[in-house]
Amino acid sequence: MKATIEQQVMANVGVIYTARQFVGVPAIKLYVLFAGLIALVQLTWVHKVFANWAAVGFDGSLQFVSYALLHTHPAVQVTLAALAVVGISLLRDLVRPTRSVRLAL
């Protein structure tokens, strides 16, 4: 059965919409977040960080985190900063539509 022109146009619209979703700003932020997490795992021994943090306990957490952030390799610091910026930006994107809906009511 041949597709009508309207069906072909709607199929093209669907492809364009899907492509825009994959290259849109939120998608790119997710890609950067995922790449940053992979880089962080490659740059650090995450299991040892958590093991050391557990040894310090809850009371020494602030001192442990500040010391770890200040005395780590610059590549790890840059990766953490990028993850923080992208993470905050994604959270803002998630909250923004909810806030605008509330204002409209």
Residue-wise pLDDT for 26-83, tens only, equals 899 999 999 999 999 999 998 898 898 899 988 999 999 999 899 999 999 999 999 9
Instruction: Please check the confidence at residue 97 and state whether its pLDDT lies above 80.
Output: no
Residue 94 lies in a domain: yes
Q: The domain containing residue 56 runs over which residues?
A: 25-104
Number of domains in the chain: 1
Give the span between the Cα atoms of 97 and 104, in whole angstroms: 11
Residue 67 lies in a domain: yes
Give the torsion sign (CA, 48, 54, 34, 80).
Answer: negative
Which single residue is written with the structure tokens 């093209």? 12
Residue type, 17: Y
Residue 18 lies in a domain: no
Residue 60 lies in a domain: yes
pLDDT band of 11, cuts 50, 70, 90 = confident
CA separation, residue 12 to residues 5, 22, 73, 87, 90 (Å): 11, 16, 48, 33, 29
Residue 74 lies in a domain: yes
Residue 89 lies in a domain: yes
Residue 58 lies in a domain: yes
Residue type, 27: A
